[in-house]
Amino acid sequence: MPIAEPDPKTQRSSRDAGQDGRALHKGQQTKLAIIDAALGLAAQLGLEGLSIGVLAEVTGMSKSGVFAHFGSREELQISVIREYFSRFEHEIFYPALNEPRGLPRLQALFSNWMQRVTVEIQSGCIFISGAVDFDDRPGPVRDALASSVKTWLAAVQRAVVQAKEEGQLLADADERQIGFEIHGLILAVHYEARFLKTPGSLARANKAFEQILARYGADGRAVKTVTSKPAIVKPIRKSTPRSITPSHQE
């Protein structure tokens, strides 16, 4: 039986599909590059400092080219928040999962968080600057910011709960209070070190964290900070499908 001649229409369809796929991949790469540039700007200028025009100037693209990837300034800001959170959880949360559940994991979370703070003292924290810009402005950008922060704080509190379940914290310890105090340390060190330029702020925050663990530790025993290698704080372009949820902290 003779082999049928290939259908020219089918050949064209396959060729067009391949070209469309390559164009889509290139478009995704371009969008990631734009978001990367936007992250740098947002760290310095805040989310409010972002605009299609400024970003076009920084990236060397046309305004219409940048606009085509986001459609609006609001969508650009939300994309930056999502990417910032993705990097945040890769640098802080996932490495801590290598530690045993309980105090070692909680200590690793704080240690990694402090490593991030040492960078953000110079560059700025989008979560903190964003809270100032959008605290009283309801809308999708504020919702994206608040959702990211709440998700992260829930992960910290989950680590506290696990430490309590492991018998490493007092049976009547208030998990929410401990999480509140830990978050307060991070906010304080940002204010003291970045705004006031107070010497020794990082060391004081680490000491205060040890005091929290000693105060709430079972039998009142002080607990030394974790000695595992800190997370390497660097940009991460590609995220995994995992996210910060209780199931990932088992």
Residue 3 is assigned to a structural domain of this protein: no
The pLDDT, as a whole number, for residue 236 is: 36
Q: Burial letters for 169-179: b for 16+ Cβ neighbours within 10 Å, e otherwise?
A: beeebebeebb
In this predicted structure, what is the pLDDT of residue 27?
Answer: 77
Q: Does any domain span residue 5?
A: no
The confidence score (pLDDT) of residue 25 equals 72
- In this predicted structure, what is the pLDDT of residue 217? 95
Indicate whether 2 belongs to any domain. no
Distance CA 74, CA 66 (A): 13
Residue 129 counted as domain residue: yes
111 neighbors 69 (Cβ within 8 angstroms): no
- Domain assignment present for 135: yes
- CATH code of residue 82: 1.10.357.10
Q: Which of 142, 144, 145, 140 is nearest to 72 (CA)?
A: 140
Number of structural domains (the chain) is 1
Quote the pLDDT of residue 231.
43
In this prediction the pTM is 0.78
In a domain, 6, yes or no: no
* Residue 18 within any structural domain of the chain: yes
Q: Average pLDDT by consecutive 10-residue portion of the chain (250 residues)?
A: 48 51 70 92 90 90 90 93 95 96 97 95 91 94 97 97 96 96 97 95 97 89 46 42 54
Confidence at residue 114, expressed as pLDDT on a 0 to 100 scale? 97
| Domain extent for 70 | 11-249
Residue with tokens 């999708």: 140
With respect to residue 4, please indicate whether it lies within any of the assigned structural domains.
no
Q: What is the pLDDT of residue 218?
A: 87
